Structure 1
């Protein structure tokens, strides 16, 4: 730690301690009679309003790794690297349409997870288990990537270095996740909801200052774009032979015609998968009414504006002459070089805290899935609400430990590969969840078969993608069957899933195979706070209808 700037380090530690205090104080915020049930511990009492939910959901979706990796793709010259901006814009109208219905039926029946809804809608424990395990599997590497984002910041600050012993290198992560585990265990969803205020405020301040101050220091935005374009053109010229041989990828600012479908499918597929993640659904179900969800869907695009500005810092880093071997270090290194030490400390703290909020919500969401759809469904069907809450608390700790194992015992590429698969996997749950909000036509066994085909096909496609630096899991794109057009793997797998689901539904319905009993009713999808039955479900966490 000899190269650590004391001021930057001190500011970062101070802000981290502030957040830690807030995390433990969250048990007294919106105090409930007891946290010994999943409605209170796992969903914050299902009572967050527009203001709190905006910070919570935004803090949940825009993670530390997002703020490190997205500008890194532009710094590295990825021609489709900007896709993260339109996919956020696409996602929110979908939220406006779909999730008020999920909120209503979940509150009417006391559902805590999307798999609860699937089981009630299709009368299939097997399909619910598939949805739950998919969510848990996809969430684990997502939490691990928050640690990767923290590691990048620690390396830039000089606290850790590649040659350090495991104790020196990993001790800061153990400390940070130890505090995170403690206050999440104690306060549940209230902890990340309260911390999100600090996290989002810091992120907004840092990015607004960065996009105004740093470009002015390096010659203005015109020079920034010229420098980035010149850098990419020079790379393509110097590496023309390697690019032609497939040993290097061309760099650019705008996708060429051949990459248009790649860009579009990445944006659309990512948008569809985004709110299938358990932590996204958990954030939505923690709100107090349908109107809160709609208002947030209208307000959350402000985060996409922020992300767009942040992404451009990848080009700013090029113009500023930032040189790093790992592109993920480009923006933290830019902050280190361009900001005064105290404000660099604020920026580093913003990224680190930006890892804690989503990691907490993700671990809670994964724990809720385990408790409701594995533990209660298969291991202890007579579990009381207090036993459910205790099980979720313990599993949330195990999930965090598992994320640490991902990062500390395995290579970063492994976590990144699984995160790539996470988007592919989560999109395969869309037919059962989103289509189930509108129709009961699809057969439960057809949905399960379609899910299995989509999971297997998508994983196989991802494994077969190579790149100049990877033999397998080399990227998110694959040629669409029988064409040479590159598209997002998740979209191809989803289409296969949908075809199998539709065809088998027709066959199974023709054979009159038992479709199961739908425990929902049409009016359940329109229920709102204050309607008969909704408050009872919120208070007791139990289905209103059998």
Structure 2
């Protein structure tokens, strides 16, 4: 048992627990309304949104899994850095349009937008189900990251994990999105302290980066499946498509969109698109922890234990507790946001749409709060009752699935030409294709090789998206030609201009 680390960890965990409950009185609003509980009244400014999105996108599993991939495979794991760089220009251009139309029409979820844009209950339901299915294993992965930290401190069994998630469930139920937003400030500060300490202290102790890279190359070459510091030419397409597909998918996840919807203006979103690359810099350093672990000679039971083992070996025990708290709190923040986002989708687009159409706003909010609890404990069941590989495999599939909503959501922000029935059939074609590819890989990876293209390997989500787009475009041409009804668009072009909305306000 690592007592100094554990004591520091518990103190910091108790501190953020108090913050979670106090957050209910921060920027007070009527938490019996779904837009207040689930979106904090859309009042978050630049600083809060920066911490919220940072806490949402750079999770505990990121801190554990990216270095673990570098530790086990080498340069392939570095794809996470370019994909987070690709995404922010995309956010700068696209997301203020989505925020504007959501604000104008009071949309709480992305499925609200889809229903309003296409007048299609089926398409909105497809997007909602896809979002929920993709989110559930993502929450479970946060528990995998927390579990790795607890095991490193000598805490065995599932009860500490269960207690931590009961606490999380209670303050999320009480405070809604305000809780993870407030806690994200503490989490991000701890992450940056840990990263700065790691990039200074560990290289000094290990003889500098040159020596680290030399030992890392030797260690990777000796693996049963050899890795390298630099990817080879055969991996260029798979590396590039993995980075591109991950970038396009990131802001289709419900938890990412919740951060967008909760912002106070399009200007806040643009500022954050300019500021969030600071996290990409930190992520680059985090990725290098995998090479540092090889150079330090740690031998964890699994690759996911590489970073905790490195911290215990190279940091004083008390500071390892700070780092472990950063990772654990980095699990709580995104898990809270993800559960809220999934609850919003279920309540607004399934429960209210199909089960109780006349539910009051207060009843709607209460259902969302209850569903957020169910989602959390469903994710907890993933980790407690099933091997962690099961959640990892499902998350790989979730990334493929969520990208199939790209034509409906992102292209739909700019044009109404794609036919609503073509979009639904294209979505189904992409889902089936992506699932088949992942099954053909035995759910052990996400890079699929297409033989008739000259054995080109690429991210299965991109191949599935191409199928999706081809089917959607071809069927749109056919459906428009035969005059199939395309539904009424309840939005106007001016609704997508956040500058006009700001002037009106």
* Fold equivalence (TM over 0.5): yes
8 Å contact kept, 2:265–2:498: no
Q: Deviations over 1:336-371 (max 9, x none)?
A: 111111101101111000000000000000000001
Hey, what's the Cα distance between the residues in 2 that align with 1:89 and 1:354? 21
Query: Per the alignment, in what secondary structure is the counterpart of residue 158 of structure 2?
Result: helix
**2 CA distance for matches of 1:337 and 1:276?**
39
Distance 1:515 1:530 in 2: 31
Verify: 1:524 aligned to 2:495, yes or no.
Answer: yes
Q: 1:477 aligns with which of 441, 447, 452?
A: 447
Q: Matches of 1:474 and 1:40 in 2, distance apart? A: 40
Matches within 5 A, 1:42-57: 42-57=38-53
Q: Does 1:90 align with 2:90?
A: no
Structure 1 residue runs without a partner (length 5+): 161-168, 240-248, 466-471, 536-546
- The counterpart of 2:421, out of the listed 445, 451, 461, is 445
Counterpart residue number, 2:186 = 198
Aligned-partner Cα distance in 1 for 2:368–2:222: 53
> What is the aligned counterpart of 1:353 among 329, 340, 351?
329
Alpha-carbon deviation of 1:185?
0.3
Task: State yes or no: 1:395 paired with 2:392.
Answer: no
Q: 2:235 aligns with which of 228, 250, 259?
A: 259
Residue of structure 1 equivalent to 2:35: 39
Q: Deviations over 1:504-540 (max 9, x none)?
A: 00000001000000000000000455444xx6xxxxx
Q: Aligned to 2:289, what secondary structure does the other structure show?
A: helix
Give 3-state SS (helix, strand or coil) of 1:478's partner: strand
1:58 is matched with 54
Q: Would the aligned equivalents of 1:55 and 1:200 in 2 still touch at CA under 8 Å? A: yes
Aligned equivalents of 2:502, 2:356: Cα separation in 1: 32
TM-score norm. by structure 1 comes to 0.91
Summarize the alignment of residues 115-264 of structure 1 with structure 2, pairs less than 5 Å apart: 115-160=111-156, 169-235=157-223, 239=224, 249-264=225-240
Q: Deviations over 1:139-190 (max 9, x none)?
A: 0000000000011111111111xxxxxxxx1110111001100000000000
The gaps in structure 2 that reach 5 residues or longer are none
Tell me the equivalent position of 2:22. 25
Matches within 5 A, 1:276-315: 276-315=252-291
Secondary structure of 1:322's aligned partner:
coil
Matches within 5 A, 1:70-85: 70-85=66-81
Q: Is the 8 A contact 1:457 1:493 kept in 2?
A: yes
The answer to whether residue 413 in structure 2 is matched with residue 413 in structure 1 is: no
Local SS of the residue matching 1:42: helix
- The normalised TM-score by structure 2 is 0.98
Correspondence list, 1:356-435, <5 A: 356-435=332-411
Query: Which secondary structure state, in structure 2, belongs to the residue aligned with residue 482 of structure 1?
Result: helix
1:242 matched to which residue of 2? none
SS in structure 2 at match of 1:441:
coil
Looking at structure 2, the residues matched to 78 and 315 of structure 1 have their Cα atoms a distance apart, in angstroms, of 8
Q: 2:148, 2:4 → 1: CA distance?
A: 19
2:75–2:229 contact (8 Å) kept in structure 1 = yes
Supply the distance in 1 between the matched residues of 2:147 and 2:3 (Cα, whole angstroms).
18
Give the distance between the partners of 2:463 and 2:176, measured in 1 at CA: 37
Q: Which position in structure 1 is the counterpart of 2:474?
A: 503
User: Does the CA-based 8 Å contact 1:80-1:262 persist in structure 2?
Assistant: no
| 8 Å Cα contact 1:108-1:527 kept in structure 2 | no
Q: For the residues of structure 2 that align with 1:429 and 1:481, how far apart are their CA atoms?
A: 27
1 CA distance for matches of 2:354 and 2:295? 57
Are the aligned partners of 1:480 and 1:492 in contact in 2 as well (CA < 8 Å)?
no
Structure 1 residue 91: Cα displacement: 0.5
Cα deviation for residue 39 of structure 1 reads 1.2
Displacement of 1:481 in angstroms is 5.4
Structure 2 Cα separation of the partners of residues 232 and 172 of structure 1 = 34
Task: Determine whether 1:11 maps to 2:16.
Answer: no
Query: Match of 1:80, SS?
Result: helix
Q: 2:318 aligns with which of 331, 342, 346?
A: 342
Distance in 1 of aligned mates of 2:126 and 2:503:
32
Q: Shift in Å at residue 233 of structure 1?
A: 2.5
| TM-superposed deviation, 1:79 | 3.9
